[in-house]
């Protein structure tokens, strides 16, 4: 039986430096008998030569389109918005299963070409737990940026400037500590931060970043389900300087904060980091903004406030890209046991569940999307 070929494509999303495969996991796959083709990439945090040393074959950027049908295309973020049908099995985050804007056009490309989407967001074990996720580094990066925005706002009137990925965590924390020091000089105290969802992957990442940046335990309100059970809005949010939301919802609960709750006297809240970045979701517990932000423009102001300090929202949907090396290593390490079963993916429970979900979602497509 011929070995299974995995084709790692180059990412096309702006400022996306992460990778679903790393040189470390590539070496493990090759040791297990896979052939791994890696597209050269100017954006990926790992040098092309690192993959070559691991035993991969380097191929031209965007060559996945013409790869043999039986090759499995591995990526991270969504493909560019094109119309041509997709013939391969694709392993990636596609963001088209929750009826996001344009979801039908994204999803329909797979059945139109006889391809299959195995969506990384929905790879779950027998208990329904995700086998790999970027949550920890999303929370870590979000909390780090929130501290920087808090300090910037105290010392500047213009919007917080664009940011770029860091080579490693130490470099990010050094910058954050410098910013916090400047913020303390302006405010006369350290910030108070509330993290909701603090016990999960994302929330634990946020709390870790806060502590590494020098925020003491007594300044961190780490909430989870027990604390939010009474239902919001919560005064503890507007009494804090920074609110980091690490809760991702699939059904509606009372809002943690809303425009009315922000119009209170003595509001301290200056920065909200909505790590879930469910900007347009009807389930968002933070319905105070409607614009997704980017690394180029990390914040958006909350309009309509009649008193109190300015309020900035961070809602970047690929926050782990701020730490692409560590985030990729952790994610790919967790994904490796599943990747090692791709040679028989139809009979591997994790991938079979992903295929079943794909089939269910395809069945909901309007006929018009399939006729293009």
Residue 111 has pLDDT above 90, yes or no: yes
Contact call for residues 75 and 67 (beta carbons, < 8 A): no
| 248 annotated as a binding-site residue | yes
Q: How many Å apart are CA 301 and CA 65, to the nearest integer?
A: 40
Check the annotation: does 200 bind a ligand. Answer: yes
φ and ψ of 312, to 5 deg: -110, 145
Annotated ligand binding at 183? The verdict is: no
Q: Which of 7, 77, 87, 88 is catalytic?
A: 77
Model confidence over 228-257: pLDDT tens digits? 999 999 999 999 999 999 997 778 889 999
Supply angle C-alpha 300, 325, 12, rounded to 5. Answer: 60
Q: What does the pLDDT read at residue 281?
A: 76
Residues 6+ apart with CB under 8 A from 326: 137, 168, 169
Q: Is 11 helix (H, G, I), strand (E, B) or coil?
A: coil
In the numeric block, which tokens belong to residue 268? 């301290």
The fraction of the chain above a pLDDT of 70, given in percent, is 100
Distance CA 342, CA 274 (A): 34
89-92 β-sheet, strand order: 57-59, 35-39, 5-8, 72-74, 89-92, 116-119
What pLDDT does 95 receive? 85
* Band of pLDDT at residue 26, cut at 50, 70 and 90: very high
Of 170, 172, 169, 123, nearest in space to 145 by CA: 172
> Going along the chain, which residue ranges are E strands?
5-8, 35-39, 57-59, 72-74, 89-92, 116-119, 193-196, 220-223, 242-245, 271-274, 299-301, 312-314
pTM of the model: 0.86
Any catalytic annotation for residue 95?
yes
Q: Please indicate if the annotation marks 224 as binding a ligand.
A: yes
129 is in an annotated binding site: yes
**What are the tens digits of pLDDT across the range 30-49?**
999 999 999 999 999 999 99
pLDDT category of residue 15 using cuts at 50, 70 and 90 = confident
95, 212, 297, 333: the active-site residue: 95
Residue 40 has which token pair?
């050269």
Count how many Cα atoms sit within 13 Å of the Cα of residue 60 in the half-sphere of its side chain. 5
* Mean of pLDDT values over 187-192: 98
E strand or H helix that includes residue 202: helix 201-212
Say if strands 299-301 and 312-314 run parallel, antiparallel, or are unpaired: antiparallel
49-83 confidence digits (pLDDT tens): 999 999 999 999 999 999 999 999 999 999 998 99
pLDDT at position 13 over 90: no
Q: Which domains are assigned to the chain?
A: 5-131+324-369 (3.40.50.720), 134-322 (3.40.50.720)
Q: Is there a catalytic annotation at residue 69?
A: no
């Amino acid at each position: 039986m011929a070995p299974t070929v995995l084709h790692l494509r180059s990412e096309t999303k702006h400022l996306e430096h992460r990778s679903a495969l790393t040189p470390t996991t590539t070496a493990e796959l090759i040791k297990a008998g896979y052939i791994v083709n890696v597209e050269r990439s100017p954006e990926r945090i790992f040098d092309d030569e690192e993959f070559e040393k691991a035993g991969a074959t380097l191929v031209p950027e965007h060559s996945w389109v013409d790869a043999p049908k039986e090759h499995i295309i591995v990526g991270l973020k969504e493909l560019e918005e094109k119309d041509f049908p997709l013939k391969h099995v694709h392993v990636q985050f596609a963001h088209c299963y929750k009826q996001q804007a344009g979801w039908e056009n994204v999803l329909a490309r797979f059945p139109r070409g006889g391809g299959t989407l195995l969506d990384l967001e929905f790879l779950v074990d027998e208990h329904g737990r995700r086998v790999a996720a970027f949550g920890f580094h999303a929370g870590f990066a979000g909390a780090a940026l929130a501290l920087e925005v808090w300090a910037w706002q105290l010392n500047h009137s213009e919007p917080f400037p664009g940011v770029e990925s860091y080579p490693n965590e130490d470099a990010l924390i050094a910058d954050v500590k410098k910013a916090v020091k400047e913020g303390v000089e302006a405010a006369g105290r350290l910030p108070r931060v509330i993290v909701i969802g603090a016990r999960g992957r994302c929330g634990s990442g946020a709390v870790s970043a806060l502590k590494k940046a020098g925020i003491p335990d007594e300044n961190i309100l780490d909430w989870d389900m027990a604390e939010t059970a009474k239902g919001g809005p919560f005064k503890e949010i507007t009494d804090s300087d920074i609110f980091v939301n690490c809760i991702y919802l699939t059904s509606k609960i009372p809002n943690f904060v809303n425009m009315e709750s922000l119009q209170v006297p003595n509001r301290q809240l200056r920065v909200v980091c909505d790590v879930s970045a469910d900007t347009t979701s009807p389930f968002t517990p933070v319905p105070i903004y409607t614009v997704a932000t980017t690394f180029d423009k990390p914040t958006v102001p909350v309009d309509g406030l009649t008193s109190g300090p300015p309020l900035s929202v961070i809602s970047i949907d690929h926050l782990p890209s701020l730490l692409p090396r560590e985030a990729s290593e952790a994610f790919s390490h967790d994904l490796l046991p599943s990747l090692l079963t791709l040679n028989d993916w139809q009979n591997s429970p994790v991938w079979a569940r992903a295929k079943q979900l794909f089939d269910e979602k395809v069945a909901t497509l309007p006929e018009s999307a399939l006729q293009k």
